[in-house]
Amino acid sequence: MTLLVTDPMDGFHYTSFAQEIIFAPGALAQLSEAVGRFGWRRMLLCTSHSMQSNGYVNSIKSSLGGVLVDVFDHVQPHVQDVQVKEVFTLAAENNVDAVIGMGGGSPIGMAKAVGFQLHFPIIAIPTTYAGSEMTPVYGITHTDENPPRKVTVNDPKIAPTLVIYDPQLTLDLPPELTASTGVNALAHCIEALYSKTRNPLSTAAATDGARHIHSALLTCYQDGKNLDARTEILLGAHLAGLSLASVSMGLHHGLCHVLGGSANIPHGIANGIILPRAIRFNAEATAPQLLPAAEAMNIPENGINSKRVIEALAHHIHELIGQMNLPQRLRDVGVSESDIPRLAQIAFQNRTVQNNPKPITDPMQLEQLFRDAW
């Protein structure tokens, strides 16, 4: 199998980000030392309710003491603009100098939105596999539009300065969120591999990320307290986020943003429905680029052509998603058939969709994909 797929002889161009990454079981204990080293003195924590109930907010409070000046503990999914305004005011009133996002992609997205607008550093402590902690991007949902629309903001200053990965914080991530955010991480790897702006680093990270995610995902779904498997998948999620950080995404991510922002489907769930279909849609243009992922996920090549290997990869991912009982059709997550043309129109305008390696020239291509997914 040929693994040299990034065409390095054609040249490449990417931005990497200065971030400090701490990864270890129990790494949360290193937060206070790192905060002292950076010299942050007035910090705000953005998080979600579940982090209160499982005691992680208290762990941060006792580790940071008076340096933690306030906690916003009810971040909603998909970073709503009205909540961003609230947290913005809270940060300004408290004269904050750094903001922590702890939880899934939503609290981390909130910390990014507020930190970026107020020009202070962002610290990310991820407890799902969504990968936002590694990227210079956040999405914000404009709630005054009908339907609401999620817009992404991209700037190198958005990349968190410090990221703490502690697999122990993921031991109580429920099976459905384990599955859906794990599939989200796998999707980063897939779209990084065939990205129009792929580079040697993104390809290496995405290939190894896919290997670790695939090796540990089902075990974590079935046995959430398995620290070894939790550590392996979090490593995979880190690599997935790293690959995502330096490349542009395509059809899959664009459609998931539309389904999240305009149909309010949880991000990971949208990923499970769309990923196998996006792989098939793109296969004619991108199959050779996905061969490393197929190999990393033990899909046999057997001398068959790359398009058929990638069909087997899409089928395998679809089966894995089914084994973890995630919804596999849009009709199962509240989308009605009559919504499809409008969603396809919104998706056609989406910048990320338009950045797909296989050109999308007609909204009907997207309508057909959504109908297939319905």
Q: Which residue is nearest to ligand NAD (CB)?
A: 105
Q: Applying CB under 6 A, which of residues 6, 80, 83, 128 lies at the interface with ligand NAD? A: 128
Classify 79 in phi/psi space as left (phi over 0), alpha (psi -120 to 50) or beta.
left
User: From CA 43, how far away is CA 121, in angstroms rounded?
Assistant: 10
Using CB under 6 A as the binding rule, whether residue 177 contacts ligand NAD is answered as yes
Using CB under 6 A as the binding rule, whether residue 137 contacts ligand NAD is answered as yes
Q: Applying CB under 6 A, which of residues 109, 182, 236, 272 lies at the interface with ligand NAD? A: 109
3-state secondary structure of 122: strand
Among residues 268 and 292, whose Cβ is nearest to ligand NAD? 268
Q: Applying CB under 6 A, which of residues 101, 104, 167, 236 lies at the interface with ligand NAD? A: 104
Using CB under 6 A as the binding rule, whether residue 77 contacts ligand NAD is answered as yes
Using CB under 6 A as the binding rule, whether residue 101 contacts ligand NAD is answered as no
CA torsion sign for 296, 298, 302, 306 is negative
The minimum distance between CB 325 and ligand NAD, in angstroms, equals 17
Instruction: Please count the other Cβ atoms lying within 10 Å of the Cβ belonging to residue 39.
Output: 8
Classify 11 in phi/psi space as left (phi over 0), alpha (psi -120 to 50) or beta.
left
The minimum distance between CB 246 and ligand NAD, in angstroms, equals 12
Using CB under 6 A as the binding rule, whether residue 238 contacts ligand NAD is answered as no
Q: Which stretch binds ligand NAD (CB under 6 A): 27-35, 176-184, 225-233, 286-294?
A: 176-184
The minimum distance between CB 261 and ligand NAD, in angstroms, equals 9
CA torsion sign for 263, 265, 270, 273 is negative
Token pair belonging to 308? 């058929």
Q: Which stretch binds ligand NAD (CB under 6 A): 100-108, 290-298, 311-319, 348-356?
A: 100-108
Using CB under 6 A as the binding rule, whether residue 50 contacts ligand NAD is answered as yes
Classify 16 in phi/psi space as left (phi over 0), alpha (psi -120 to 50) or beta.
beta
Place of tokens 């981390």: 108
Using CB under 6 A as the binding rule, whether residue 32 contacts ligand NAD is answered as no
**DSSP string of 152-190?**
EEE-GGGS-SEEEE-GGGGTT--HHHHHHHHHHHHHHHH
State which H helix or E strand residue 97 sits in. Answer: none
Establish whether the linkage from the previous residue to 327 is cis, with ω within 30° of 0. no
Using CB under 6 A as the binding rule, whether residue 127 contacts ligand NAD is answered as yes
User: From CA 155, how far away is CA 48, in angstroms rounded?
Assistant: 25
Token pair belonging to 230? 């939790």
State which H helix or E strand residue 137 sits in. Answer: strand 137-142
Give residue 78's Cα distance to chain centre: 12
Q: Applying CB under 6 A, which of residues 168, 181, 352, 365 lies at the interface with ligand NAD? A: 181
Using CB under 6 A as the binding rule, whether residue 170 contacts ligand NAD is answered as yes
Using CB under 6 A as the binding rule, whether residue 138 contacts ligand NAD is answered as yes
Among residues 99 and 169, whose Cβ is nearest to ligand NAD? 169
101 beta partners: 46, 124
The minimum distance between CB 121 and ligand NAD, in angstroms, equals 17
Using CB under 6 A as the binding rule, whether residue 81 contacts ligand NAD is answered as no
Among residues 20 and 155, whose Cβ is nearest to ligand NAD? 155
Using CB under 6 A as the binding rule, whether residue 173 contacts ligand NAD is answered as yes
Q: Indicate the DSSP class of residue 53.
A: H
Q: Which stretch binds ligand NAD (CB under 6 A): 1-9, 104-112, 276-284, 339-347?
A: 104-112
Q: Applying CB under 6 A, which of residues 35, 44, 78, 290 lies at the interface with ligand NAD? A: 78
Contact pattern for ligand NAD over residues 188 through 227, marking x by CB under 6 A? ----------------------------------------
Among residues 132 and 365, whose Cβ is nearest to ligand NAD? 132
Contact between 257 and 350 (Cβ < 8 Å): yes
Instruction: Please count the other Cβ atoms lying within 10 Å of the Cβ belonging to residue 196.
Output: 12
List residues binding ligand NAD (CB under 6 A): 48, 50, 54, 77-79, 103-107, 109, 127-128, 130-132, 135, 137-139, 169-170, 172-174, 177, 181, 184, 244, 260, 267-268
